[in-house]
Amino acid sequence: MTATLNIHMSSCLFCRIVSGEITATIVHQDEQLVAFQDINPQAPMHLLVVPRRHIANLNDLTEEDDAIVGNMVRLAADLAKLRGHSEGGYRTVLNCNANAGQTVFHIHLHVLGGRRFLWPPG
């Protein structure tokens, strides 16, 4: 394991959830991705889909991450479908940096459902 990865694992909240060091209600995990319940849910369904690998936010994505991002989006759709939200609809959100309100700097896809959402967002 590289030194950089060690630093991320000790300081990044979602790296610590991925490694099991911090508990979360995990709803899916595979080789690449982990999905868990948001600790402060904003809707009846509020899941976070994260890659196991530390990526701070959208600004750090490279072409090599295309498969990860594609799989994150497809997993969000699968999880929403499993919970019965496909037909009624649901919202997916990727916040990037301060203006969007990003608070955890490990890329995460919010998957929200079970109520109606406003547009434009606040």
Instruction: Catalogue the active-site residues.
Output: 108
Confirm or reject binding of residue 102 to ligand 5GP (CB under 6 A): yes
Q: Which stretch binds ligand 5GP (CB under 6 A): 30-38, 71-79, 84-92, 113-121?
A: 30-38
Q: How much helix, strand and coil, in percent to the nearest 5, is found in the chain? A: 35, 20, 45
15 contact, one of Zn ion, ligand 5GP, none, CB 5-8 Å limit per kind:
Zn ion
Cβ closest to ligand 5GP, residue 89 vs residue 101: 101
- Among 30, 31, 29, 36, smallest CA distance to 14 is for 36
